[in-house]
Structure 1
Amino acid sequence: MPLYVALTYTRDVDWTAPEQAGDLQGYEDFAKSAAAVIRGGQALYPTATATTVRVSGGKGGDVVTSDGPYAETKEALTGFYLLECADLDEAVKMSAGLPAAWDGAVEVRPVIQFPA
């Protein structure tokens, strides 16, 4: 069956903070209800912990890093799920159960599975 990544975009929060416990319950509920199709996933630390990497001049050029995300936005990439679903319709249906879809966005993309 095909794999899909469900990228969650929500307000930029620290999921390890005690005040997020209530919001995390929705994701725990999703994990239980979608366990049959979840093949992986994790929450991400806030964007303030991100490092953006660029190579100036292309391959072999100078490595340039900057703190934080590439662009400031209202919603940030805060996690992902790897879903094994029959098709895009099923992946969308499953992703609609994520709390991020109710107060943010979930981007669903098919995963290219290259031969080992």
Structure 2
Amino acid sequence: MFYAILAYHVEQTVQSWTPDEDAALMDDLLEVNARLTREGKLGPAARLGATAAAVTLRGPGDGMVIDGPFAETKEQLLGLYVLNCASQDEAIATARDLRRVNPTAVYEIRPIMLYLPGTPLPAG
């Protein structure tokens, strides 16, 4: 089954890291990603841009585009992973691996009811 692991963090904390601190964390996370790729479990993964650059589409009909997400939370969704795991326990174990290298993040694990892989995007 496919699972989404949604990575939440206090955005101001992430933005306060020096380039070296950020690079060190990314190196650790990429080690986990490389292992999951070797195991054939990792699907798409993304680090999202700043919430200040986001817009939200809501309302009836064509909807209205408004600035930013309006989540009433201290943490923002900053990234996501799509994994192919045999069970929820396996997905939780993977989230624990991610948390081990990024202990201040919060990881939400949700089953994916429909997965449409689409066309692979160019690397960049």
State which of 26, 30, 33 in structure 2 corresponds to 1:31: 33
- The gaps in structure 2 that reach 5 residues or longer are 117-124
Distance 1:113 1:67 in 2: 28
State the 1:69 CA deviation.
1.3
1:5/1:108 contact within 8 Å kept: yes
Q: 1:1-116 to 2 correspondence within 5 Å? A: 2-12=1-11, 13=14, 18-19=19-20, 20-35=22-37, 36=39, 37-55=41-59, 58=60, 60=61, 63-99=63-99, 102-113=103-114
TM-score by length of 1: 0.80
Residue type at the aligned position of 1:46: A
Distance 2:115 2:85 in 1: 18
Distance 1:101 1:107 in 2: 14
| Pair 23,101 (structure 1): closer, same or farther in 2 beyond 3 Å | closer
CA root-mean-square deviation? 2.3
Distance 1:101 1:92 in 2: 15
1:95/1:101 contact within 8 Å kept: no
Distance 1:32 1:114 in 2: 22
Q: SS in structure 2 opposite 1:65? A: strand
| Pair 114,108 (structure 1): closer, same or farther in 2 beyond 3 Å | closer
State the 1:72 CA deviation.
4.9
State the 1:53 CA deviation.
1.1
Number of paired residues? 108
State the 1:101 CA deviation.
6.0
Q: Which residue of 1 aligns with 2:120?
A: none
2:8/2:107 contact within 8 Å kept: yes
- The gaps in structure 1 that reach 5 residues or longer are none
Residue type at the aligned position of 2:7: T
Q: SS in structure 2 opposite 1:90? A: helix
Distance 1:83 1:42 in 2: 12
Identity %: 31
